[in-house]
Structure 1
């Protein structure tokens, strides 16, 4: 079964672009063959008509033919599978509005999922349906679901190398996403650590500032205490100064008295000229 190799390309692709790549892959798959022993004549005829319309890209008309086949045989895995393909092609239309796109996608996925239920009777078709659903899940970035669908496709068809390749791509994408999450977590933790460091640094600076301020306040207080004289000390100093002045004054008074006495004594003992 041919499939495009560029279904999973790296780079920033839009959802619409990924969807188109997916549907191109589905289109290249041959329409499931039917077994005459398990189908009715009407069912086979309607499926063949639907396939012709599908190849002409008349997907809405093709769906009507497939629905007729499914009505004739409600257990037709081929009809369910092909209806799913046609709806997915409608969802990829260029002129489809978002509301109808979602409607077609939902219907296509439901019909494709119905085809996977026939894994016991038709494992190859069910494997193809799981593979396609895996591609859809991958494009929706639902990697865990895509991985499980690819694994189921391989269980039903171990030789499906495309499913094996896409499974590996999905696992690598999941590992990369986990690594990115871990990197983001570590980055956030480092940011928190840097914030804590800055906070501690600011706290230390504030603490040192407060300590220096307290030290300066203490020194200023001590200096003020030294400069501010104790009243008793001031009184003692004033008393000492006063005592010294009194002693000086007494010496001067005594010296004056002695001088007068000596002069008087000299007059008494001296000669008249």
Structure 2
């Protein structure tokens, strides 16, 4: 290997190291977040909590949401609720945080708050089946029946009616083509002039 090639390799390595050092200096939250996630996945919640807590500020919704999840896993529900509320106040996408806060309220047996959070999250994400199941479970816990899903039931009824209508139209079309084929066969048989 020539000296020129070695020098180029050393320069490339130095640039990469400089970029990593700059990342560590100017974006320590990203680095701490990256270190905290493996702890969380490994269920080492106290270590993950320390790193998430260092990241959490009033305007950092993801850091506070992660802190709330970590505290929830440690059964520290009051602190988790506080962190989730802070995250909710600064979050752009609120549905996941509302879902988590509903779970926290449910564990605290504050079913009316859990119901409010689940309902608000359902309004933001009506297709989430887990969220709907938690909402209905909370209603049952409060000895209430879930409200009839008028819009959903009406949509299901409309879809059923449309499917039946499509089947009937298909059968009508099939019947008319069968009649036309039968007429053409009959006209061939009767059109014999000899």
TM-score, normalising length: structure 1 = 0.40
Q: 1:60 aligns with which of 38, 43, 46?
A: 46
Q: What CA distance in whole angstroms lies between the structure 1 residues aligned with 2:130 and 2:119? A: 11
Q: 1:145 to 1:54 in 2, by over 3 A?
A: same
Q: Does 1:87 align with 2:71?
A: yes
Q: Does residue 1:175 correspond to 2:159, yes or no?
A: no
- Tell me the equivalent position of 1:116: 88
3-state DSSP of counterpart to 2:103: helix
Kindly provide the CA deviation profile for residues 28-60 of structure 1, in whole angstroms up to 9, marking residues without a partner as x: xxxxxxxxxxxx732211111111121222222
Whether contact under 8 Å (1:116, 1:127) holds in the other structure is: no
Residue in 1 aligned with 2:99?
Answer: 131
Tell me which stretches of 4 or more aligned residues in structure 1 moved more than 4 Å.
Answer: none
Q: 2:120 aligns with which of 144, 152, 174?
A: 152
Pairing 1:78–2:62 present: yes
**Would the aligned equivalents of 2:102 and 2:113 in 1 still touch at CA under 8 Å?**
yes
How many aligned positions are there?
120
Displacement of 1:134 in angstroms is 1.5
User: What is the alpha-carbon distance in structure 2 between the residues aligned to residue 176 and residue 48 of structure 1?
Assistant: 43
Question: Considering only aligned residues, what root-mean-square deviation do their CA atoms show, in Å?
Answer: 2.3
Distance 1:56 1:163 in 2: 25
Classify 1:160/1:66 alpha carbon distance in 2 versus 1 (closer, same or farther; 3 Å): same
Which residue in the other structure is 1:254 paired with?
A: none
| Deviation by residue 1:57-100 (Cα, 9 ceiling, x = unmatched) | 222221221223235xx421111011111112222xxxxxxxxx
Q: Find the counterpart in structure 2 of residue 41 from structure 1.
A: 27
Question: How far apart, CA to CA, are the structure 2 residues paired with 1:176 and 1:69?
Answer: 41
Q: Note the C-alpha offset of 1:176.
A: 5.1
Secondary structure, counterpart of 2:56 in structure 1: helix
1:107 and 1:86 mapped to 2: Cα distance? 10
Bigger radius of gyration:
1
State how far apart, in whole Å, the 1-side matches of 2:105 and 2:142 are: 13
Which residue, out of 108, 112, 127, partners 1:140?
108
